[in-house]
Amino acid sequence: RIPKSRVQVLRLLTALHEPDVQIKQIEEIVISNVDLSYKILRLLNSAKYGLSREISSIHQAIMMLGIQQLRSLATVISLSSVDDKPNALLALSLTRARTCEVLSKSRGLSTQSGFATGLFSTLDAFFDRPLTEVIEELPLAEEIRLALGDGSGEAGQCLRWAIACEQGDEVTLDSIGLPVSEVSRTYVDAINWARRMLPEED
């Protein structure tokens, strides 16, 4: 059985990623979780984000960031609360997410799908279950579901490249059509970005 805390996190991710979820619903989901609300506001008002004015409410955060970025931030903080999982795992998830996002942008693809694919590619490690089982419980877009399931589609290709960066697989990286040095720089930038975005430990 999944420990109760992981069940709660999975339910939260399910609610956050409903395809037709509205801004008001996202706001209600986040506000109903006091710990999540607090951590989001604390992170947004930290030096990491460097916003020009203080964010004092979740509604204000949505207006400032937009629904997609707030949803991603809530997902990251939710995953960070899973018991007995090291920060290194979340850092890996964020690094993959950022790498996929940048590679998607360079190819004129959906950066949102790229980011979500990279972020969710480690859910098996978070929940100690096969990835195919976990994604069945999440209302993900078909493109992301296929990318995570068998690596197919454009998002799946970007994920394979991100993993190739991790493993130093130059043969796979050569197939991108971008200089390996540029892809490597993208990956290093993603690692540094992930470190900055990690929620502070309580």
pLDDT in tens, the chain (202 residues): 566 688 889 888 988 888 788 888 889 999 998 889 998 999 889 887 778 889 999 999 998 888 888 888 899 999 988 888 899 999 999 999 999 999 999 888 889 889 999 999 999 999 999 999 999 989 888 999 999 999 999 999 999 999 999 998 888 888 877 788 888 899 999 999 998 888 766 5
Please give the backbone phi and psi of residue 21, each rounded to the nearest 5 degrees, phi first. Answer: -65, 140
* Cβ within 8 Å of residue 7, ≥6 positions away: none
Decide: 147 and 156 in contact? Cβ < 8 Å.
yes
pTM reported for the whole predicted model: 0.86
Residue position matching structure tokens 């964020």: 94
Of 38, 21, 42, nearest in space to 30 by CA? 38
